[in-house]
Amino acid sequence: MSWFRRLFRRKPKQTEFDPVAPPSQRMSELLRELRGRLERFLVTRSRPAGLLKETRDWKLSKTNEGLFRLDADGVSVLITTGSFLVRKDDRVQGLLRMTETALCWALSTDQKVDGFVAASEPPPQAASMQLYDELRGLAKDGARERLPSPEELLRWPPFDVDQMIARNSPNTLVHVLLHAGPQLENFLRGRLSRRLEAVLIEELESLNFPGSNPDLNPHSRRRSLLQFELALAEFRQCMQSYRREAEFRRRREAGKRLPVAGRS
């Protein structure tokens, strides 16, 4: 049985929506219900460090956020699900994931610590992302470009945020809302039109339905509840593309404003 089917194996207790309640309340209830479903499935996130599960053949332990150890007879390997950073004893510790090419690039150019950090994949958690930005604080503009985090939208101009909302599909947007922190969620929801809010509510309802299982509809372009990593990566790539376009427009406008030298 697939993980997705296990997730929906038991018929969920349906949230009884008040027919006269405002759409914002209904969206909040759907987000809360889906987050609860994800939390029950993503035990590697919700449980503290320590033993997660042990069978006769193996045991899996959590050593930190995104870092695990699998032990078995003659086997002891580390498993990472992504970058993470923590502050402990006045030191930033953790794990940063990057390609071998990016690591060799930073090594060959004699980068400082911030250069190695800039070449890595940013962590998805807001707390880790804050430490990540601190370590990159002295990075030069020429540092290797990375995919931005959705949390960076909090520092974008409102017009640019509206453009990002318009450029992404409703399916992608609901995944971003589901995995956003409270501040980002409130910020994005405050930028939604009534029409788009209604569309996103329908999209959330579809994610809460077992028929969204990708095994049942493998050719669909919509990401299921458990395919959030693909949706979030797609959103971050869109952010990066838009940021490049905005920088190009800024430089072009700056060039137009340059004074034309008079003829002698």
User: Which of 110, 126, 146 marks a domain boundary?
Assistant: 146
The enclosing H or E element of 63 equals: strand 58-64
- Residue 185 binned pLDDT confidence (cut-offs 50, 70, 90): very high
pLDDT over 80 (residue 10): no
33-42, 57-66, 196-205, 215-224 — most confident range: 196-205
Mean pLDDT of 66-86: 89
Domain assignment of residue 15, yes or no: no
User: Which of 146, 166, 184 marks a domain boundary?
Assistant: 146
- Residue 141 binned pLDDT confidence (cut-offs 50, 70, 90): very low
- Mark whether 243 and 158 lie in a shared domain: yes
Domain that holds residue 107: 84-146
| Residue 239 and residue 145 in contact, taking contact as beta carbons nearer than 8 Å | no
Domain assignment of residue 26, yes or no: no
Nearest 10 degrees: Cα torsion 229, 233, 234, 240: 160
pLDDT at 210: 60
pLDDT over 70 (residue 5): no
pLDDT over 70 (residue 177): yes
Looking at per-residue pLDDT, the higher value among 109 and 54 belongs to 54
Domain assignment of residue 255, yes or no: no
Domain assignment of residue 261, yes or no: no
- Residue 68 binned pLDDT confidence (cut-offs 50, 70, 90): very high
- Residue 262 binned pLDDT confidence (cut-offs 50, 70, 90): low
pLDDT at 242: 94
- Mark whether 154 and 232 lie in a shared domain: yes
Number of domains composing the chain:
3
pLDDT at 174: 97
pLDDT at 250: 83
- Mark whether 169 and 211 lie in a shared domain: yes
- Mark whether 169 and 198 lie in a shared domain: yes
Neighbours of 57 (CB within 10 A): 8
pLDDT over 50 (residue 224): yes
pLDDT over 70 (residue 138): no
Neighbours of 40 (CB within 10 A): 10
Cα gap 224→4, rounded to integer Å: 9
Domain assignment of residue 211, yes or no: yes
pLDDT over 50 (residue 55): yes
Domain assignment of residue 198, yes or no: yes
pLDDT over 90 (residue 4): no
pLDDT at 109: 78
Residue-averaged pLDDT of the chain: 82
- Mark whether 92 and 136 lie in a shared domain: yes
Looking at per-residue pLDDT, the higher value among 177 and 113 belongs to 177
Mean pLDDT of 235-240: 93
Mean pLDDT of 34-39: 92
Whether pTM > 0.85 for this model: the answer is no
- Mark whether 154 and 243 lie in a shared domain: yes
Looking at per-residue pLDDT, the higher value among 211 and 49 belongs to 49
Share of the chain above pLDDT 90, in %: 39
pLDDT at 213: 57
Cα gap 182→178, rounded to integer Å: 10
Chain centroid offset of residue 126 CA = 9
Cα gap 232→154, rounded to integer Å: 16
pLDDT at 139: 41
- Mark whether 66 and 88 lie in a shared domain: no
144-153, 179-188, 244-253 — most confident range: 179-188
Domain assignment of residue 30, yes or no: no
